[in-house]
A and B are shown apart, each in its own frame.
Chain A
Amino acid sequence: MTEFDLIVLGAGPAGISAAVVAAAAGLKVALFDENPAAGGQVYRLPLDTSESTQAAEERVGHQLRQDLAASAVQTFFAHQVWAATGDYRIDAIGPRGPVHCAARALIVAAGTTERVVPFEGWTTPGVIGLAAASLLLGSQQILPGRSTLIVGCGPLLAAVAAKTVANGGTIDAIADLASVGEWARALPAMLSCPELLRRGIGWWRTLRRARVPILARHTIIKVEPVGERLRATLAPCDAAGRPRAGKHRTALVDCVAVGHGLTPATELTRLLRAAHRYSRAAGGWIAIADQDGRSSRPRLYVAGDAAGIAGAAAAATHGASAALACALELGGADRSRLERLLEAARARHKRAARFGRAMARLMALRAGHVDAIAPETIVCRCEDTTCAEIDEAFQAGACDLNQLKAWTRCGMGPCQGRTCGDIAGELLARRTRVRSREYVGCFSARTPLRPVAIEALTGDFNYEDIPIPTAAPI
């Protein structure tokens, strides 16, 4: 087993910057990610690297990868971390088999999961996540369809629509849960990052030129397959995301891209039993942490969106401050220099996070939206658990999310409740008298964190090599 001072989990902007800064501070650092290259989702390595483009994400991603390559960080790409223990031992599966490492400290920079609030037909092939559409257009250079319907909330709506249009695709419409007023209220915070605001205005101009209809305060209520295409129904909604009476619109498209915000990835911190709290503005359950991401557990840090949604720009600055705080805690040399760097990283982070948190508020879960899920709609995609079955379990006495899981299998499938956990928690909380997410809790994290094949763990062996313990005397 290889020993490190620090293991960083996740090689997005938070993880890369944490690993690079920690290594520069003199720590022996390992960086794990399940993807084949560093960058995370926002800065994912494009398939075609030969063509230089002016896309801002590609430049930032390129710079992060260069910084990492120039550092002393030991990287483990294409490695799935499936277990972590209380003494900070990490078990992963990589292309060359199982890997076991241990460290004095951990920084969890696991990013987020996209939230999709279920609606009738949302499991139909061709309905994809908004983040998936963004990855198709970005790293894979594929249009999601000739015509696409974009629904949900947050800045990714305009980003995906503008990229589709710029690459010759058609956007049937954008349906945004937010009102124009909500965007206007986010504007002062957006002014804190002028370059990001400029990019947003560029998207909006592209959409105006292409005359893409933007339906504010609209939600998707249904998708049905029509041959190879999809017919989607949109309805006006109130501020809580609840569909209201009014004109329904239908669209016949190749692809529906839907995203209702992001939830922090907390499997690792939940597995390690750090204290968590629910924060709707931060995207859901988050590890309780100070400004540098120091959790309730000794030498366990969280950084970036996994610590609460604040966007990719803020993730990088948060990763740096977590790494510096960690280096100080582990007794790094030249403390006064590290403290100065930490102060500077905190100041940069404050500015970057202001923008991201305003976007996160636009993407926060809306209670009325979840109330509108129809009884026969599937909530847990892995186990096909419907909203009616969740209701039935609640009626039978399940008022805790893990009780619900045991009774209905909701959240028990291969995705480990990453897709449905936030929605199931909200559904259950809305049914209890206290209506509190803390009261119903969250799914317990379990190993393996990702499905792993037993043969991948055991490798090749001869039966003769298996030690047989001698039987205990009778």
Chain B
Amino acid sequence: MHVRAAERSSIVGIFFDDQPLLARTGANLAASLFVAGIRTLRASPRLHQPRGMFCLMGSCQECLVLVSGQRKLACQIAVTAGLRAQRVAKTGTDD
């Protein structure tokens, strides 16, 4: 839930695993997914448990996603119109 209604001009469409979502331009991708109800961002490498945003400051590495095919921390990515992010298929491996 947003604290204040954002100006319409700042709302853009983004995609997470091909699911269309609305987010604010410049907002943090991890925070935008969290507020959109997408809590699980990846599976832990060994026990394959669901994990999501945790520290929001680039330290814990839990919000690792694919942005334009590259592994990025969602909390270090600013939302832009049409941004496409995906879950990493498997962490801890090269595929």
Query: Interface of A with B (CB < 8 Å)?
Result: 34-36, 41, 47-48, 51, 113-114, 123-129, 131-132, 135-137, 139-146, 167-169, 228, 378, 381-384, 413-415, 418-419, 450-451, 453
Inter-chain contact A125/B40, CB cutoff 8 Å:
yes
Please, which residue of chain A has its CB at the minimum distance from the CB of B78?
A36
Query: What's the nearest-Cβ distance from chain B to residue A386, in Å?
Result: 9
Please, which residue of chain B has its CB at the minimum distance from the CB of A44?
B57
Is residue B50 contacting chain A, with contact meaning CB distance below 8 A? Answer: yes
Inter-chain contact B1/A142, CB cutoff 8 Å:
yes
Inter-chain contact B70/A141, CB cutoff 8 Å:
no
Q: CA A195 – CA B25 in complex, angstroms?
A: 34
Proximity string of chain B (1-24) to chain A, C-beta cutoff 8 Å, 1 when within and 0 when not: 111101000000000000000001
A142-B2, A453-B70 given as contacts; is B47 within 8 A of A384 (CB)? Answer: yes
Is residue B74 contacting chain A, with contact meaning CB distance below 8 A? Answer: no
Is residue B65 contacting chain A, with contact meaning CB distance below 8 A? Answer: no
Which residues on the A side are within 8 Å of B31 (C-beta)? 135-136, 140, 142
Inter-chain contact B61/A451, CB cutoff 8 Å:
yes
Inter-chain contact A381/B3, CB cutoff 8 Å:
no
Proximity string of chain B (42-59) to chain A, C-beta cutoff 8 Å, 1 when within and 0 when not: 001111011111111111
- 10 CB contacts below 8 A, A to B, read A114-B55, A128-B56, A132-B53, A132-B57, A136-B31, A142-B35, A167-B3, A383-B46, A413-B45, A419-B60
Inter-chain contact A132/B54, CB cutoff 8 Å:
yes
B34 partner, pick from A35, A136, A139, A382, beta carbons under 8 A: A136
Inter-chain contact A123/B51, CB cutoff 8 Å:
yes
Q: CA A279 – CA B52 in complex, angstroms?
A: 31
Which residues on the B side are within 8 Å of A51 (C-beta)? 4
Which residues on the B side are within 8 Å of A414 (C-beta)? 61, 64
Query: What's the nearest-Cβ distance from chain B to residue A261, in Å?
Result: 14
Inter-chain contact B57/A41, CB cutoff 8 Å:
yes
Which residues on the B side are within 8 Å of A415 (C-beta)? 59-61
Majority SS of interface residues in chain A? loop
Is residue B27 contacting chain A, with contact meaning CB distance below 8 A? Answer: yes
User: What 5 A-B pairs come out closest when comparing CB atoms?
Assistant: A125-B52, A132-B56, A125-B39, A384-B46, A414-B61
Which residues on the B side are within 8 Å of A167 (C-beta)? 3
Which residues on the B side are within 8 Å of A144 (C-beta)? 34
Is residue B76 contacting chain A, with contact meaning CB distance below 8 A? Answer: yes
Which residues on the A side are within 8 Å of B56 (C-beta)? 128-129, 131-132, 135-136
Query: Interface of B with A (CB < 8 Å)?
Result: 1-4, 6, 24, 26-28, 31, 34-35, 37, 39-41, 44-47, 49-62, 64, 70-71, 76, 78
Q: CA A277 – CA B45 in complex, angstroms?
A: 33
A137-B3, A167-B3 given as contacts; is B50 within 8 A of A124 (CB)? Answer: yes
Inter-chain contact A381/B44, CB cutoff 8 Å:
yes
Q: CA A213 – CA B26 in complex, angstroms?
A: 36
Inter-chain contact A140/B28, CB cutoff 8 Å:
yes
Inter-chain contact A131/B55, CB cutoff 8 Å:
yes
Q: CA A146 – CA B47 in complex, angstroms?
A: 30
Which residues on the A side are within 8 Å of B49 (C-beta)? 123, 384
Query: What's the nearest-Cβ distance from chain B to residue A97, in Å?
Result: 14
Which residues on the B side are within 8 Å of A419 (C-beta)? 55, 59-60
Inter-chain contact B55/A132, CB cutoff 8 Å:
yes
Inter-chain contact A131/B57, CB cutoff 8 Å:
yes
Please, which residue of chain B has its CB at the minimum distance from the CB of A132?
B56
Which residues on the B side are within 8 Å of A381 (C-beta)? 44, 51, 54, 60, 62
Query: What's the nearest-Cβ distance from chain A to residue B44, in Å?
Result: 5
Inter-chain contact A125/B70, CB cutoff 8 Å:
no
A34-B76, A126-B52 given as contacts; is B3 within 8 A of A47 (CB)? Answer: no
A125-B39, A140-B27 given as contacts; is B60 within 8 A of A146 (CB)? Answer: no
Chain A CB within 10 Å — which of B3, B34, B40, B44 has the most? Answer: B3
Inter-chain contact B59/A125, CB cutoff 8 Å:
no
Which residues on the A side are within 8 Å of B4 (C-beta)? 48, 51, 141
Please, which residue of chain B has its CB at the minimum distance from the CB of A254?
B1
A142 partner, pick from B3, B44, B51, beta carbons under 8 A: B3
Query: What's the nearest-Cβ distance from chain B to residue A395, in Å?
Result: 21
Inter-chain contact B45/A129, CB cutoff 8 Å:
no
Q: CA A37 – CA B64 in complex, angstroms?
A: 21
Which residues on the A side are within 8 Å of B3 (C-beta)? 137, 141-143, 167-168
Q: CA A127 – CA B59 in complex, angstroms?
A: 16
Please, which residue of chain B has its CB at the minimum distance from the CB of A455?
B70
A36-B78, A140-B28, A384-B46 given as contacts; is B55 within 8 A of A169 (CB)? Answer: no
A132-B55, A142-B2, A384-B49 given as contacts; is B44 within 8 A of A123 (CB)? Answer: yes
Query: What's the nearest-Cβ distance from chain A to residue B68, in Å?
Result: 12
Query: What's the nearest-Cβ distance from chain B to residue A377, in Å?
Result: 12
Q: CA A451 – CA B34 in complex, angstroms?
A: 23
Q: CA A114 – CA B2 in complex, angstroms?
A: 24
Q: CA A62 – CA B25 in complex, angstroms?
A: 21
Please, which residue of chain B has its CB at the minimum distance from the CB of A419?
B60
Q: CA A382 – CA B45 in complex, angstroms?
A: 8
Q: CA A113 – CA B60 in complex, angstroms?
A: 9
Q: CA A131 – CA B3 in complex, angstroms?
A: 17
